Chains A and B, each alone.
Chain A
Amino acid sequence: MDAVLTSPMFLPAAAESPVAAAESYETDSTGDADLVARCQAGQSQAFETLVVRYRGRVYAMIVNMTGNDADAWDLSQEVFLKAWRALPKFEARSQFFTWLYRITHNVTYDWLRKRKIGNGMEFDDAMGQTPAAGAVTVPHHEPEPDTRLRNKEIGGRIAEALKELSPEHRSVMLLKEVEGLSYQEIAETVGCTLGTVMSRLFYARKRLQTLLRDVYESQI
């Protein structure tokens, strides 16, 4: 670029665009099933509502899985683009967010496998860092400085401990404990049996308890 302009704020035109008008009937309360049906009818505006609704959960899941904020942004983009392409095949036998989580899991798992960091085979400097600038945890609150420092230390320990788990165990643990999914929803998300979900949970907990025992025992 020869020149790139920066400038203070200027005022938007008042006229309502066709896009804005088309979106006006889609509100935050519009159900996923309705939005999915509209997407399948070719209304991309409905998909935008779904992106806004779930981008935070998808991004958080990928950050937790990879510990890598920078790649999480691009991977989250890939998740939604894959979801858009796959929407014609979505038959609503599962909830949209479970289906979206499955895509998230697959995209993340493929990335981890390529990076070979899932089993600690390769150290990644980005692992365990705090969220990228601009990323905002919801809900947001400001603890005291010493508490923030302690939380940062614990967050780092947790990230390091999660890195010790295989991607399979890590995803099941996160989906259960952080996302609050049921065994059935986890099984649908990661594509395994209920028994496998429970078995992975058992061993993931066992491993994390060993790695983080001093952390949680200090808080009991």
Chain B
Amino acid sequence: MNANFPHDMNEELMTRWIDGQLSPEEQVSVNRLLAGQPLLGREKQAALHLGGLLRTHLPSTLEPPSPDFFTSRIMDEIRASSSMPVAKNVKVPAGTPSFWSWLKKPWFAPLASAAAVAVVFAALNGPHSNPSPSMETARIYAPDPNVVAKAFYSDSAEATVIDLQGLQPVPNDREIRAFDLASSEPAEPGQPQVFYAASAPDRAAVVLTSGTGQAPRLRELP
């Protein structure tokens, strides 16, 4: 406070006086000390007003951006490390880029968009193989807890695979757009949908399946 307080009042006492935390006995004593000093009363009011100003302009609750992703990322870290809280190896990898650094990358926006709309893609790397754990490159946020989303790079297909499991087949009237994708074949019920890279139109970039729960199989590419 900018006014001069009586020497008998220390910082603790003054703080509790401002906050209304004095005992009845202390209050009587302080009232006696402050008698005839209206400036101190105004200082107390100013301190209380300052508190109100902070409460008005600073949030006590503020949902983080992408709150569902915020939670799922934590839970992914926990579940990927251990199901028990005693696990000591649950930590953010040192090399993991931050959420905000992702936002600066050109591929993040469409990736986030794809995840946000909870699209299920099962893209395939060959006619007979499922992705091995070593091929998995990232877990992708899906707002629906029934959807499991993963991404990995397939050397054999020379394509990034976005594997989203748990959704119903994609309706035919939906438009699929993406970076570097030039064309696609019409989706047929129960059949995967192939997307071709704009930069390499002779090869499949991504294959979309209906998420039937069966192991995805890539049909013969042209």
Binding site for B on A (CB under 8 A): 1-17, 19-20, 23, 39-40, 42, 44, 47-48, 51-52, 55-57, 59-60, 63-64, 69-74, 76-78, 80-81, 84-85, 87-88, 131-138, 151, 154-155, 158, 173-174, 176-180, 183, 194-195, 198-199, 201-203, 205-206, 208-210, 212-213, 215-217, 219-220
Whether B63 and A56, one on each chain, are in contact in the complex, defined by CB atoms closer than 8 angstroms, is yes
Whether B53 and A39, one on each chain, are in contact in the complex, defined by CB atoms closer than 8 angstroms, is no
Work out how many contacts link A and B, with CB atoms closer than 8 A. Answer: 278
Residues from chain B with a CB closer than 8 A to the CB of A81 are: 74, 77-78, 90-92
Whether B92 and A2, one on each chain, are in contact in the complex, defined by CB atoms closer than 8 angstroms, is no
- Given known contacts A10-B120, A74-B98, A209-B2, A47 and B85 CB-to-CB distance under 8 angstroms: yes
Residues from chain B with a CB closer than 8 A to the CB of A137 are: 59, 61-62
Residues from chain A with a CB closer than 8 A to the CB of B54 are: 158, 173-174, 177-178
Residues from chain B with a CB closer than 8 A to the CB of A212 are: 50, 53
Query: B14 at the A/B interface (Cβ < 8 Å)?
Result: yes
Q: Count how many chain B residues have C-beta atoms less than 8 Å from C-beta atoms of the other chain.
A: 90
> Which of A3, A59, A88, A158 is B86 in contact with, Cβ under 8 Å?
A88
19 example contacts (A-B, Cβ-Cβ < 8 A) are as follows A3-B197, A3-B205, A4-B160, A7-B174, A8-B175, A9-B118, A10-B170, A16-B146, A52-B67, A64-B59, A72-B64, A78-B92, A87-B85, A133-B65, A135-B64, A201-B15, A205-B18, A209-B43, A209-B50
Majority-rule SS of A interface residues: helix
Q: Give the complex CA separation of A85 and B158 in angstroms.
A: 39
Query: B110 at the A/B interface (Cβ < 8 Å)?
Result: yes
Shortest CB-to-CB span from B65 to chain A, Å, is 3
Whether A199 and B12, one on each chain, are in contact in the complex, defined by CB atoms closer than 8 angstroms, is yes
Q: Give the complex CA separation of A70 and B177 in angstroms.
A: 29
Shortest CB-to-CB span from A170 to chain B, Å, is 11
Whether A19 and B145, one on each chain, are in contact in the complex, defined by CB atoms closer than 8 angstroms, is yes
Shortest CB-to-CB span from A145 to chain B, Å, is 17
